[in-house]
Amino acid sequence: MKRLAAGAGQSQPIRSRRMLLMAAASAALMSVAVGCKAPRVPGPGRSNRLSSTSRGTPSGQYSVTGEATMTERQAASDAHRPQYHFLPPDKWMNDPNGLIQWDDRYHLFYQYNPEWPYLDVKYWGHAVSTDLVHWKHLPIALVPTPGGPDKDGCWTGCAVNDRGMPTLVYTGVHPEVQCIATSSDGLTTWQKYDGNPVIAKPPADLDVVGFRDPFVWREEAGWYAVIGSGIRGVGGAILLYRSDDLRRWEYLGPALVGTEFETGTMWECPNLFPIGDKFCLIVSAVPLKKVLYFIGSYAGGKFVPQSHGVIDHGGDFYAPQTMQDRKLRRLMWGWVWEGRDEAAQYAAGWAGVMSVPRVLSLGPKDELRIEPAPELELLRGEHKHLERVELGAGARAPISDMAGAAFELIARFRPGPSGRAGIKVRCSPNGAEQTLIAYDQPKQQLLVDRTRSSTYISAHLDVHEAPLSVSHDELVQVHIFVDHSVIEVCGNSTCWLTSRIYPSRADSLGVELLAENDGATFESVEFWPLKSI
C-alpha cells in the first residue's frame, strides 16, 4: 500500500493515486513512500561490466585472457565510477571520435591515453554496440606511428563510408595535420594511408591558432570537410575543404569565423549537418570550455547563423560528436570530464566518461531540441511513480523509495510565481551531502547546485545555471540521469546541464522534492533504478 508519512513519525494512508501534500509555510519536512524497499548502499568492488573480448596495451598489442590489469581493478573498485555510461576499462578518455553505424553495429571510437598519467599521447579506443546502450570493447584502433605524421598522437576525427571502405579521417600531431586510415576487416584493424598527411598544413594565407578535428560528409559534388581552427587576433573559425577521393583536398575558405570576445579564440571539434530545413554547426570553444551551437543556413561554402545557444550548461560536457544513424536520427555523445582534482583522478586509475546518447532535432521555433536516446529505457528497473504532490513554501519531501546512485527520474512540476522548486539527489540522511536540481521561476533558470555535493576537498563545488523560459502556466519537466559521479539533467527537452559529483558517504543516496520561497505542484515524478551495462 502506498503511504504518506508526514512529520516526525506520523503517517497517514493515501486514499487515491492523487496525493495532496500541503506543507506548512515553515520548513516542514515530509516523507513520501511509494513502496517498501530499502535503498541499496553501494559497496566496494563494483565494476562497469562491459563485456571485454580483448584489452589494449600501449603498444597496441592485445591479450584475450580476460584478466583485468592492476589499473583496471583499481578503476573498477572506485565508488564514483559510473555503471551505465560508456567508459574504457581504465586510464584517460576524452572526445568521442569516428561515430558510425556499420552493418548492424554502432561504432564508438574515442580519444584514449593508455599511458596516462605519465605521457600525454592520444590513441583511438574502440567499442561497438547494437543497441546504443550495451558496449563491447574492441582492440585499440589507432596507435601513433613513430616517425609518422601522427607520432605524437592520433587526435580527434570522424569515420565515413567511402564506397564500402571504412575510412577514418583524423588529426596527427605535432604539427597538426590531417591523416586517413582504412580497414579491410570490418573496422577492427586499421591501415594508415602511405600518403599521410592528406592535408599537410593550414591555408597559407591564414595565421591560424590550431588546425584539427576534421568532420567529413558526402555531397553529390564530392567529399567536404570542416576543420576546427582560429584566426589569430580575430576568433574561432571553421575551414572548409573539398575532395574527390579523401586523399587530395582543396581549401575553399572559412565557412564561419567568430569573434574572440564572444565565442573564443579557437573552435575545436566542429560538426556541421542538416537539421529540419536548416543546418546546425556545433563547436567546442577555446578557452571558454563551452560547446556552442548555431542554427542557420549553409550554401555556397558559407554558414550563416540565425540563432545560437549552448549545448550543455553543466560545466563538465565537452567536444561532442554527432552522427546520423539508419533511422535518420542525429545522435550525439560528448566527453564528460572529471570534477575532482588530478591527484584524486590518478588515485582512481581512470578519468573521463561518455555522456548518454542524445538525439538532436529542430523544434517548431527553430530551437535545438536535445533528448535522451529512447534506447536508454532498456536499462530501466522497477518503475516508481508519484502523482500530484503539492508542497508549501519552504517544504521538502524525501521520497524513501526513490533512492540510489544509478537511476533515471522524470519530474513534471510547476513552481509558484516567486519560487524555486526541484529535486535533490544523492542526499545523505543528515543532509550534509546533497545535489540540488531546481527551476527558479522568477529568474527563468534551471540550475544544478553542487556546493553541497561532497565533503571531499578534491571535489569541485559550484552552481551551474541555464536559461530556460517556462511561463507560469507551463510545466517544467526535468529528466535526470544519475550514475554515481555523473549527473545529466535535461530541462524541457532543450536545456542540458551535465556535472560531476563525488559524494563521500556511501549512504548519500536519498532523493527529495522541495519548494523554496513559494509553493510548488509536482504533477508527476517517475523513477527507475538503471541497470549496469
**CA distances (Å), 418 to each of 21, 286, 496, in order?**
20, 37, 23
Residue with Cβ nearer ligand FRU (319 or 490): 319
Find the shortest distance in angstroms from Cβ 499 to ligand FRU.
Answer: 18
Distance CA 484, CA 499 (A): 11
Residue among 84, 92, 112, 155 that touches ligand FRU (CB under 6 A): 155
Residue among 31, 101, 167, 171 that touches ligand FRU (CB under 6 A): 171
Residue with Cβ nearer ligand FRU (96 or 372): 96
Question: How would you classify the pairing of strands 51-52 and 136-142?
Answer: parallel
Residue among 48, 94, 229, 271 that touches ligand FRU (CB under 6 A): 94
Helix ranges (H only) for 264-407 are 342-348
**CA distances (Å), 472 to each of 424, 441, 442, 519, in order?**
22, 8, 9, 13
Find the shortest distance in angstroms from Cβ 120 to ligand FRU.
Answer: 9
| Site for ligand FRU, residues 120 to 139, rule: CB under 6 A | 122
Find the shortest distance in angstroms from Cβ 354 to ligand FRU.
Answer: 13
Residue with Cβ nearer ligand FRU (28 or 311): 311
SS3 of residue 263 by DSSP? helix
Q: Any idea what DSSP says for residue 141?
A: E
Q: Any idea what DSSP says for residue 289?
A: T
Residue with Cβ nearer ligand FRU (352 or 415): 352
Find the shortest distance in angstroms from Cβ 157 to ligand FRU.
Answer: 8
Residue with Cβ nearer ligand FRU (95 or 516): 95
Residue with Cβ nearer ligand FRU (155 or 190): 155
For 283, counting Cβ atoms within 10 Å of its Cβ (0-12 exposed, 13-18 middle, 19+ buried), the class is: buried
| Site for ligand FRU, residues 412 to 471, rule: CB under 6 A | none
Residue among 225, 269, 409, 470 that touches ligand FRU (CB under 6 A): 269
Contact 489, 305 (CB under 8 A): no
| Site for ligand FRU, residues 172 to 191, rule: CB under 6 A | none
Residue with Cβ nearer ligand FRU (269 or 515): 269
Residue with Cβ nearer ligand FRU (37 or 289): 289
Torsion angle of the four alpha carbons 366, 372, 378, 384, in this order, in degrees rounded to the nearest 10: -110
- Stretch 283-322: interaction string toward ligand FRU, x if CB under 6 A: -x---------------------------------xx---
Is position 156 an interface residue for ligand FRU (rule: CB under 6 A)? yes
Residue among 31, 111, 435, 454 that touches ligand FRU (CB under 6 A): 111
Find the shortest distance in angstroms from Cβ 470 to ligand FRU.
Answer: 32
C-alpha cell of 458?
A: 578534491
End-to-end CA distance of the chain: 32
Is position 48 an interface residue for ligand FRU (rule: CB under 6 A)? no
Find the shortest distance in angstroms from Cβ 214 to ligand FRU.
Answer: 10
Find the shortest distance in angstroms from Cβ 212 to ligand FRU.
Answer: 5
Residue with Cβ nearer ligand FRU (284 or 428): 284
Contact 267, 243 (CB under 8 A): no
Is position 95 an interface residue for ligand FRU (rule: CB under 6 A)? yes
Contact 283, 267 (CB under 8 A): yes
Amino acid in the structure at residue 190: W
Contact 499, 413 (CB under 8 A): no
Angle, CA 373 vertex, CA 102 and CA 276 arms, to 5°: 80
Distance CA 450, CA 458 (A): 13
Find the shortest distance in angstroms from Cβ 317 to ligand FRU.
Answer: 11
Distance CA 105, CA 429 (A): 43
- Stretch 206-225: interaction string toward ligand FRU, x if CB under 6 A: ------xx------------
Find the shortest distance in angstroms from Cβ 263 to ligand FRU.
Answer: 16
Beta bridge partners of 438: 422, 447
Distance CA 366, CA 374 (A): 22
C-alpha cell of 82?
A: 559510473
Residue with Cβ nearer ligand FRU (138 or 173): 173
Find the shortest distance in angstroms from Cβ 322 to ligand FRU.
Answer: 15
CB atoms within 10 A of CB 54: 16
Helices (H) and strands (E) in the chain, counts: 3, 40
CB atoms within 10 A of CB 44: 9
Which residue's C-alpha cell is 570550455?
Answer: 289
Amino acid in the structure at residue 280: C
Residues with a known catalytic role: 95
Taking Cα atoms as reference points, which of 340, 295, 318, 371 lies closest to residue 454? 340
Where does this chain bind ligand FRU (CB under 6 A)?
Answer: 94-95, 111, 122, 155-156, 171, 212-213, 268-269, 284, 318-319
